Amino acid sequence: MMIKRMGSRIMFAVGIAALLFFSLFPFMQMLSTSLKSSDQLFTIPPVWIPKDITLSNFAAALRHQQFADYFLNSLFVSVVTCVLVIIVSVLAAYSFTRLEFPGRKFFLNVILVSQMFCISAIVIPLYKIVSSLGLLNSYPGLILAYMAFTVPVAVWLLRSFMLNIPIDMEESAMMEGASKLQAFIKVIVPILRPGIGATAAYVFLITWQEFLFSLVFMTDPSKRTLPIGIMDFKGQYETNWGTMMAASILISIPVFILFLVIQRQLISGLTEGATKG
């Protein structure tokens, strides 16, 4: 019995170590490349740990004339998308959990099925819709496309969180004189905060790193987001891998900071949302 337990623990530890390795290896390779000088990038055998660490690639990325513009574009689009998605999704999740209306189960199934489609499958229909609205090459058009892709998932996540909130709490507030809207704002929303944090982190991450929609809907170079802006480091005849990897790390920093700030709400939200679906 002891041998079996020891063997299972060893297998579990090996599995966790392998998972961590495959998860962290791309980032470590990216970091290693960003700290190398150009003459160390293509050496044979490869140099995993730079002999002479240099920050010139980070300096070159920051000196890029449009890098700051790309950063602000991505920040604006991601924040606005996140705020709008949360507002729409919280109201929709409340409707699906607290209100009775014809077709509720049907619309829930539609939301569930819509999550099965990958982003490349909906880019052409969304392009036609955005084009017919005259919103191509504009931030509202890109934000609308991001909302179409993220709202279904956000609604489903927030619905799972909201199912854990007893309806008695809302009814008690209404018995004390609060309206349905006041009960929603003062009772439901504060309790739902961990779920909102987890969902907001998901939406922000998706929009911050998204490439295809930004490439298709935005043709003006001044309106590009960071994932598209990285392509500036790829020339016609060569690619500046060191600077590109440095820019990729710089792009990852805001997401890393976001998860550090809301990690408690994120863990709490994911735990609560997993208890009931």
Sequence-separated (6 or more) residues with CB below 8 Å from residue 245: 30, 31, 33, 34, 57
Burial of 146 (0-12, 13-18, 19+ CB in 10 A): buried
Alpha-carbon separation of residue 63 from 20, 55, 57, 80, 220 (angstroms): 34, 12, 10, 27, 21
Residue-level pLDDT at 92: 92
Rounded Cα distance between 17 and 2, Å, is 22
State yes or no: pLDDT of 120 exceeds 70: yes
State yes or no: pLDDT of 23 exceeds 90: no
Averaged over 112-131, what is the pLDDT? 86
Rounded Cα distance between 91 and 184, Å, is 10
- Minimal CA–CA distance to 146: which of 102, 201, 208, 93? 208
Rounded Cα distance between 214 and 48, Å, is 33
Averaged over 190-206, what is the pLDDT? 89
Q: Binning pLDDT at 50, 70 and 90, where does residue 266 land? A: low
What is residue 239's DSSP assignment?
B
- Minimal CA–CA distance to 194: which of 262, 93, 275, 95? 262
Q: Where are the alpha helices (DSSP H) in 115-176?
A: 119-132, 139-162, 167-175
Residue-level pLDDT at 269: 55
Strands (DSSP E) contained in 8-61 are none
Share of the chain above pLDDT 90, in %: 29
CATH topology of domain 64-233: MetI-like fold (1.10.3720)
Q: Quick check: helix, strand or coil at residue 234?
A: strand
Counting Cα atoms < 13 Å in the Cβ hemisphere of 89 gives: 32
State yes or no: pLDDT of 277 exceeds 50: no
* Terminal C-alpha separation, the chain: 37
State yes or no: pLDDT of 213 exceeds 90: yes
Rounded Cα distance between 249 and 270, Å, is 26
Structure tokens at 217: 């809907």
Residue-level pLDDT at 15: 87
Rounded Cα distance between 77 and 157, Å, is 22
Are the C-beta atoms of 176 and 110 separated by less than 8 Å? no
Roughly what angle, to the nearest 10 degrees, separates helices 241-261 and 56-63?
80
This prediction's pTM: 0.83
pLDDT digits (tens, 9 = 90+) for 158-183: 998 888 888 888 888 888 888 888 88
CA 95 and chain centroid, separation: 25
Q: Binning pLDDT at 50, 70 and 90, where does residue 272 land? A: low
- Minimal CA–CA distance to 220: which of 79, 70, 78? 70
State yes or no: pLDDT of 276 exceeds 50: no
Residue-level pLDDT at 113: 84
Least confident of 42-51, 120-129, 134-143, 190-199: 42-51
Does 87 or 7 have the greater pLDDT score?
87
| Domain range list for the chain | 64-233
SS3 breakdown of the chain: % helix, strand, coil, rounded to 5? 75, 0, 20
Does 129 or 219 have the greater pLDDT score?
129
Residue-level pLDDT at 270: 56
State yes or no: pLDDT of 240 exceeds 80: yes
pLDDT digits (tens, 9 = 90+) for 87-102: 999 999 999 988 888 8
